[in-house]
Amino acid sequence: MPLPTTADDVWKHIEKWPFAVLGFVTPKGEPRAAGVDYTVRNRTLYVLTGPDTWKARHIRANPHVSVTVTIQRLPIRVRRVPPAVISFAGLATVLTPDDVEAGLLAELTHGLEGLENELCVIRIVPTGRFVTYGIGVPPMKMRTPKEAIARVPVV
């Protein structure tokens, strides 16, 4: 059975909905998650944060992360029709402002001018496959997980 969507379709959704839940683990192996705003450049996500936040500290210790983007496709919440979701694993790197291209840094720090040196950027490169739910299928088919779930290579 052909995939209900392509990597290009998935990336369009990721670029349109710049909020996600970023999952990571503590050095003790305990799971943690944080909501993040992100910017996409060249199929890579960039998140602005503080260098001493849990996100930055834990990702420095373990670069393996998960990202989940929730996409509300219907104008109102319909009972038993969940929002669409894109989830994927990735490798994250904590960067200093000097490691980030000037135009991207300006986009990330818009409204925070003067604080650039007090911040860091997390770069997330998706790996493997996107696991999607409800992407590329009609909303009513989302009631049947077998028809709504797809695995799409991130490339």
Structural domain boundaries in the chain: 7-153
Question: What is the C-alpha to C-alpha distance for residues 96 and 127, in angstroms, rounded to an integer?
Answer: 23
- What confidence score (pLDDT) does residue 2 get? 47
- State both tokens at 5: 């969507």
Neighbours of 116 (CB within 10 A): 18
pTM (predicted TM-score): 0.90
Neighbours of 111 (CB within 10 A): 5
Segments in the chain forming alpha helices (H): 7-16, 54-61, 102-108, 145-148
Residues of the chain with pLDDT under 50: 1-2
Domain 7-153 CATH (choose: 2.30.110.10, 3.30.750.200, 3.40.50.300, 3.30.70.250): 2.30.110.10
* 129 in Cβ contact with 153 (< 8 Å): yes
- List pLDDT tens digits, range 111-151: 888 887 789 999 999 999 999 998 888 877 887 888 889 99
Q: Torsion-angle region of residue 43: left (phi > 0), alpha (psi -120 to 50) or beta?
A: left
